[in-house]
Amino acid sequence: MISVEMTQRFRKRVTGAHREGEVSATLRQIIAGFGKPHAHSGLSIQKLGKNVFECRTDLDWRLVFEARKGVLTFDFAGNHDEVQAYLRGRR
């Protein structure tokens, strides 16, 4: 079973954008499909770096998370440009 953690930054961005419903639905799909490579493409999961992934809730909203054994930690949400800026700051 995979557990999900959400950072304060992630929660603040999701609630600030009023996207709680779509993010909740996407998280349920991620929990059910993560670790099953054939399901990743259907969930729009892409690897961004070592243990760092993104998934889309729709065409312009992305969720960034870190995968560790048994735990997915969601740390950021935003559009393409915001995610790119976030990733540059992580390096």
Q: What is the CATH number of the domain that holds 60?
A: 3.30.2310.20
pLDDT at 91 over 70: no
Tell me what pLDDT residue 78 has.
Answer: 97
Q: Which two tokens stand for residue 90?
A: 């992580």
> Whole-model pTM?
0.89
Q: Helix, strand, coil proportions of the chain in percent (round to 5)?
A: 45, 35, 20
pLDDT in tens, 3-50: 999 999 999 999 999 999 999 999 998 988 887 765 545 678 899 999
Give how many domains the chain has, as a whole number: 1
Residue with tokens 């304060």: 8
Domain extent for 15: 3-90
